[in-house]
């Protein structure tokens, strides 16, 4: 069994110990994609920390439902709790269904795929945790694709206005990077690499309480083709 909660040890250390235990490593590697982080260790730790927790409800957006039964089996094997897989699709961080989970007898609700937009303190007397499901991907491929688009736009701008100079240097082309929460952790390294290889001035905007660069479909402003790259990607092989 994975290490149990240790008195006097910080939660992060306890969670890391659970994640690195042979049983968890084996279950995760055999059942879940390697580049998806479903935070199994944090979830197991929270189940054990929640007093009297016997039933856990799992809520997924449609794109992650394919992993729901495997995650439920993993959590049941590691903790012995009963698992409820909530069938109603969740479309955003505002759709945390704590009411239904509570009525079904759940002691804990795990909401996957969104950030903590609805504070857990306002949940209906039900312990709730958010799992962002961070997804790793090939950053170099993204940088190559984005830099190609940036250079194309810069060339188009220069051809229309001629050679633009600003204090002896080429004018910086403004670019903002945004994403859903799954890819937000990758924005900073992408920004740094783009600024190294292009003449763009790259920013990662933030709208609190969201994380830097995070956008929600229900709150994002309408996009113009002139301001956002929505199509035309040529991803290198």
Question: Per residue in 203-216, pLDDT tens?
Answer: 998 887 778 888 87
Burial of 70 (0-12, 13-18, 19+ CB in 10 A): middle
Are 127 and 153 part of one and the same domain?
Answer: no
Q: 161: which 2 tokens?
A: 């206005």
Q: Residue 3 domain-assigned?
A: no
Give the whole-angstrom CA distance, residue 61 versus residue 49. 26
Boundary (domain end) residue, out of 109, 135, 161: 135
CB 93 within 8 A of CB 69: no
Looking up residue 78, the CATH number of its domain turns out to be 3.40.50.11840
Q: Residue 108 domain-assigned?
A: yes
pTM: 0.78
Cα atoms in the Cβ-side hemisphere of radius 13 Å centred on 207:
12
Boundary (domain end) residue, out of 135, 154, 188: 135
Task: Give pLDDT, residue 10.
Answer: 92
Which residue is associated with the tokens 């992993």? 67
Are 98 and 78 part of one and the same domain?
Answer: yes
Which domain covers residue 161, as residue numbers?
139-203
Give the containing element (helix H, strand E) for 188: helix 187-197
Are 124 and 150 part of one and the same domain?
Answer: no
Are 130 and 39 part of one and the same domain?
Answer: yes
- pLDDT tens per residue across span 147-184: 988 888 777 777 665 544 444 445 678 888 988 889 98
Higher pLDDT, 120 or 197: 197
Q: Residue 120 domain-assigned?
A: yes
Domain count, the chain: 2
User: 203 by DSSP, 3-state: which?
Assistant: strand
Are 116 and 82 part of one and the same domain?
Answer: yes
Q: Residue 155 domain-assigned?
A: yes
Parallel, antiparallel or unpaired: strands 55-59 and 82-85: parallel
Q: Please determine, for residue 144, whether its predicted confidence score (pLDDT) is greater than 50.
A: yes
């Amino acid at each position: 069994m994975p290490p149990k909660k240790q008195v006097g040890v910080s939660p992060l250390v306890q969670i890391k110990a659970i994640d690195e235990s042979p049983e968890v490593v084996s279950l995760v590697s055999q059942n879940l994609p390697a580049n998806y982080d479903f935070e199994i260790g944090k979830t197991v730790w929270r189940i054990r920390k929640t007093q009297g927790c016997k039933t856990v409800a799992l809520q997924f957006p449609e794109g992650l439902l394919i992993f729901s039964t495997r995650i439920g089996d993993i959590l049941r094997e590691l903790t012995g709790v009963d698992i409820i897989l909530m069938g109603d699709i969740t479309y955003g961080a505002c759709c945390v269904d704590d009411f239904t989970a509570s009525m079904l007898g759940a002691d804990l609700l795990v909401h996957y795929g969104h950030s903590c937009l609805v504070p857990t303190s306002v949940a209906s007397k039900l312990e709730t945790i958010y799992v962002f499901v961070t997804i790793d991907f090939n950053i170099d491929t993204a940088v190559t694709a984005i830099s190609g688009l940036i250079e194309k736009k810069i060339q188009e701008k220069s051809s229309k206005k001629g050679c633009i100079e600003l204090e002896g240097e080429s004018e910086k082309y403004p670019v903002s990077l945004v994403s859903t929460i799954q890819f937000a952790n990758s924005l900073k390294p992408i920004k740094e690499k783009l600024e190294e290889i292009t003449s763009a001035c790259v920013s990662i905007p933030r709208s609190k309480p969201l994380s830097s660069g995070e956008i929600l479909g229900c709150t994002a402003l309408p996009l113009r083709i002139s301001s956002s790259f929505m199509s035309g990607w040529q991803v290198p092989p």
